[in-house]
Structure 1
Amino acid sequence: MTETKIAVIGGSGIYDIEGLEDATWTSVDTPWGAPSDAVLTGSLGGVGMVFLPRHGRGHVHSPTTVPYRANIDALKRLGVTDVISVSACGSFREEMAPGHFVIVDQFIDRTFAREKSFFGTGCVAHVSVAHPTCPRLGAACLTAARDAGITVHNGGTYLAMEGPQFSTLAESKMYRESWGADVIGMTNMPEAKLAREAELCYASVAMITDYDSWHPEHGEVDVSDIIRTLTGNAGKARDLVRRLPDLLGAERAPCPHGCDRALEYAILTQPDARDPAVTAKLVAVAGRVL
């Protein structure tokens, strides 16, 4: 058994966790640079908790400039076992209305200006992201949302766009009608891929703020409308997070889906051919197999 430590990566409108015992903001150094902000550590219901504001307090990072590798490395260094991503998104489905939550289980990655892997020249690895989220962790988030009285949808495909602009009408219709996406956002990729490389269980809770631009009765995305919905969603997200320690428990067995063993056979570069400078940077995320 392993001691559970839950990390929450908070998106737009989520900048802390209420009720943490022994709450302390801690700076973490990583080989990939500084994380988005200091990390809030503490405990909730006897379970270790970590909170990282994805955009930084005050919302200083755009979706493109979020230091995704540093964020995931920092969580791994702090002993995190389970990562809950909370993020705002638009909806492509009438029934997935603003104010609802979606437990995402698939992604379409359309980002292009971000570093997407810890590995590369000097140490090559290929992990599977066929199933990019952890079903066990997603199920806990689903239960927590329902117990909190949140209207939540179990399963959905998240289209990750580069941003920072919102979709054109043509793009919105294509993502919805041709590609079959359910929600759209700007931050879950490469975050989910990096969490898998770091052998962390990852779940994505998407908080719907708008209908993107496809909906004939809602028109283009309006930031003022999004902010109003975000305020209500933030309170719901905090209620969800408060329920997770009891659901996940203070100790956990190895992940039944293998998230914590994702690197078992992923590294292809032979030991004598690995670049020592590269492997030194990987000590936190891949030290178990290196």
Structure 2
Amino acid sequence: MDKMIGVIGGSGVYEIDGLEQAEWTEVETPFGAPSDQILTGVLNGTRMAFLPRHGRGHVHTPSTVPYRANIFAMKVLGVTDLVAVSAVGSLKEAYAPGDFVIIDQYIDRTFAREKTFFGPGLVGHVPFAHPICPVLAEACAQAARMTGVTVHQGGTYVAMEGPQFSTLAESRLYRSWGADVIGMTGMPEAKLAREAELCYACVAMVTDYDCWHPGHDAVDVAQVVAVAVKNAGKARSLVASLPELLAGPKTDCTAGCGHALDSAIMTAPAKYDAEMVAKLKPIMGRVL
């Protein structure tokens, strides 16, 4: 099986020149509809799938993004390597607006979202100490450098519930934890990708200094959008470079992403809930 690269991000990411056989595809899932139709096509010989995380026109809040449906849809379409492109605020002076950060860790502060495909009758616990695929993250770092943007390889992402931005006290607290960036969509996306045994990496695009920075006004939407628009071209260039860096057959990930479920399911087979098994078999059939 050849690799298929999936990209979840904003509208600027999927408007790529040279995408052949481009088609918007409707995907139904047991968890409802994804954020939008998914744009599939072929770029430089590699199959691609693009999903606007908030929907075209930005219709979903960070809390209402249908994360389970999004990951499920990508998996059943054949995606093997999933790249998240996300706007974030910086919690460190060195991570300036306009910089890209290749995330390697998360602190999950969200509380109003469904965070797992598992449930009663099929209970599972995937390993998550290292939430990002290092192989895919390295490819993203290389692609980012090729755009000429300043790249920070490695960073801890605080996922907050939102949709409000942080208070000053919260921003200072997260800085005291040693976190690097803050955003609203990193979780549970990464957790669900691990349950679906996808290689997953996150390219975080810094848009602001949150509200902790003494020389920086409180964050507002206009500021975030202005920097995001400037970054859009570089984000497209990054994505366009991935087929060259990742082309070829999909082999077992050396980090074990494709075997995350090997020892994850706790429920005794005799106690499996048939409805849950039927629901999850399209993405977990390898172990079910």
1:216 to 209, 214, 217: 214
User: Matches of 1:143 and 1:15 in 2, distance apart?
Assistant: 19
CA deviation after TM superposition for structure 1 residue 59, in Å: 0.4
For residue 252 of structure 2, what is the aligned residue in structure 1? 254
2:271 to 234, 254, 273: 273
For residue 237 of structure 1, what is the aligned residue in structure 2? 235
AA paired with 1:23?
A
CA deviation after TM superposition for structure 1 residue 270, in Å: 1.2
AA paired with 1:106?
Q
- Give the alignment's TM-score, normalised by structure 2: 0.98
Q: Secondary structure at the match of 1:251?
A: coil
Kept in 1: contact 2:80–2:250 (CA 8 A): no
CA deviation after TM superposition for structure 1 residue 250, in Å: 2.7
Structure 1 segments unaligned to the other structure (5+ residues): none
Where does 1:175-214 land on structure 2 (aligned, <5 Å)?
Answer: 175-177=174-176, 179-214=177-212
Encode CA deviations 1:97-130: one digit per residue, 9 max, x unaligned.
0000000000000000000000011100000110
Kept in 2: contact 1:16–1:40 (CA 8 A): no
CA deviation after TM superposition for structure 1 residue 283, in Å: 1.3
Encode CA deviations 1:35-70: one digit per residue, 9 max, x unaligned.
000000001110000000000000000000000000
For residue 146 of structure 2, what is the aligned residue in structure 1? 147
For residue 56 of structure 2, what is the aligned residue in structure 1? 57
Encode CA deviations 1:71-105: one digit per residue, 9 max, x unaligned.
00000100110000000000011110000000000
CA deviation after TM superposition for structure 1 residue 235, in Å: 0.9
For residue 125 of structure 1, what is the aligned residue in structure 2? 124
CA deviation after TM superposition for structure 1 residue 222, in Å: 1.9
Structure 2 segments unaligned to the other structure (5+ residues): none
For residue 163 of structure 2, what is the aligned residue in structure 1? 164
For residue 2 of structure 2, what is the aligned residue in structure 1? 3
Alignment RMSD (CA, Å): 1.0
AA paired with 1:243?
S
CA deviation after TM superposition for structure 1 residue 15, in Å: 5.2
For residue 105 of structure 1, what is the aligned residue in structure 2? 104
Q: Secondary structure at the match of 1:241?
A: helix
Kept in 1: contact 2:155–2:180 (CA 8 A): yes
Kept in 1: contact 2:7–2:51 (CA 8 A): yes
Kept in 1: contact 2:12–2:233 (CA 8 A): no
User: Matches of 2:139 and 2:13 in 1, distance apart?
Assistant: 20
Q: Secondary structure at the match of 2:41?
A: strand
Where does 1:72-83 land on structure 2 (aligned, <5 Å)?
Answer: 72-83=71-82
Encode CA deviations 1:154-210: one digit per residue, 9 max, x unaligned.
000000000000000000000012x11100000010000000000000000000000
Encode CA deviations 1:23-42: one digit per residue, 9 max, x unaligned.
00000010000000000000
For residue 39 of structure 1, what is the aligned residue in structure 2? 38
User: Matches of 1:168 and 1:258 in 2, distance apart?
Assistant: 38
User: Matches of 1:183 and 1:71 in 2, distance apart?
Assistant: 23
In structure 2, relative to structure 1, the CA distance for the partners of 1:107 and 1:205 (3 Å cut) is same
AA paired with 1:141?
C
Higher alpha-carbon deviation: 216-225 or 195-204:
216-225
AA paired with 1:272?
A
Higher alpha-carbon deviation: 251-260 or 199-208:
251-260
AA paired with 1:138?
A
Say how many residue pairs are matched: 288
Q: Secondary structure at the match of 2:226?
A: helix
- Give the alignment's TM-score, normalised by structure 1: 0.97
AA paired with 2:5?
I
Kept in 2: contact 1:115–1:190 (CA 8 A): yes
CA deviation after TM superposition for structure 1 residue 12, in Å: 7.0
CA deviation after TM superposition for structure 1 residue 14, in Å: 3.8
Kept in 2: contact 1:263–1:289 (CA 8 A): yes
Identity among equivalent pairs (%) = 65
AA paired with 1:39?
I
User: Matches of 2:209 and 2:11 in 1, distance apart?
Assistant: 17
User: Matches of 1:7 and 1:50 in 2, distance apart?
Assistant: 5
For residue 263 of structure 1, what is the aligned residue in structure 2? 261
